[in-house]
Amino acid sequence: MKKVHKIGLFDSGLGGLTVLKALEEVLPQVPKIYYGDTLHLPYGDKSDEAIIGYSLRIVEFLRQKGCDVIVIACNSASAAAGAVLEQSFPSLIFVNVIDPVVASLADGNEKKVGLLGTRATVRSEEYPRRLSVLNNNVELVSLPTPLLVPLIEDGFLRSGIAEQVLRHYLNSPSLNGITSIVPGCTHYPLLKELAQKVLKDVRWIDAPEIVAAQVKQWWDSESRLNQPNKNGETEFFVSDKTESFMELAQSTFGISASWETAVLP
């Protein structure tokens, strides 16, 4: 049995909290640290170099805080920085948010799948590349949807504007004939209900749950020690603390814990 350690998760802002929530369901006993890089949000419109730089600093911060498992709770960072992070921190275990979802697509019976993602994620072509290695029979159509993250981060999730923008994207002719849709950005699971209203017969892939199940499976296979009968605490950090961010974290995810500011060198 190994010592109890911490799981570190990071994202540009609120999105990774969809992964944290799913992880809390399956591994409630494990202490966690969440870092939202609000100072540099959105990641999806940044260069790979910028995303790699932010990610390296965050992982170093999480490592110093005692995390030995890092969940890259951001598709843009998973795509742009995943490999560099693994090389740079060989003593840490990394779980990205792309591989578990790709593996579940490869095992399923999907014919044509739509992927909504940030510009960085779509530009990387990491989803189709990794999927084609596992299963060549699934057609994956990727659509950059850059307006969705700012809408969510600015609190427009439940507004008509969000619905209009989502409708605009989902009406893209390239998505004709898809049987399921992957929210290829950790902010997008918050759009599940709206998307299902627009695309009634299309299956929405529950990406955070798939990622959390993968972490749990690994955790169990490692016989990692859990703190019995006790919920592990989660600490919350941001690079720039604003009232609106904390309000949204509270109203959207029920997080009332206090957020600490940690600006990284």
Compute the least distance from the CB of residue 220 to ligand DGL, in Å: 26
Q: Is 255 strand, coil or helix?
A: coil
Check binding of 43 to ligand DGL (CB under 6 A). yes
Query: How far from 255 is each of 26, 67, 160, CA to CA, in Å?
Result: 18, 21, 25
Dihedral sign, Cα of residue 182, residue 188, residue 191, residue 195:
negative
Query: Taking CB under 6 A as the rule, does residue 82 contact ligand DGL?
Result: no
User: Is position 100 an interface residue for ligand DGL (rule: CB under 6 A)?
Assistant: no
The residue range among 72-80, 105-113, 211-219, 237-245 that interacts with ligand DGL, by the rule CB under 6 A, is: 72-80
CA distance 182 to 126: 13
Whether 63 contacts 35, CB under 8 Å: no
Q: Does 12 bind ligand DGL (CB under 6 A)?
A: yes
Q: Determine which residue in the list 76, 104, 124, 145 makes contact with ligand DGL, applying CB under 6 A.
A: 76
Q: Provide the 10 A C-beta neighbour count for residue 251.
A: 12
DSSP labels, 199-242: STTSEEP-HHHHHHHHHHHHHHHTTB---TTSPPPEEEEESS--
Q: Does 41 bind ligand DGL (CB under 6 A)?
A: yes
Count of residues touching ligand DGL (by CB under 6 A): 16
Residue 183 as a binder of ligand DGL (CB under 6 A): the answer is: no
Choose the binding region for ligand DGL from 88-96, 134-142, 184-192, 254-262 (rule: CB under 6 A): 184-192
- Catalytic residue list contains 74: yes
Residues lying near ligand DGL in the complex (CB under 6 A) are found at 11-12, 15, 41-44, 74-76, 118, 121, 149, 185-187
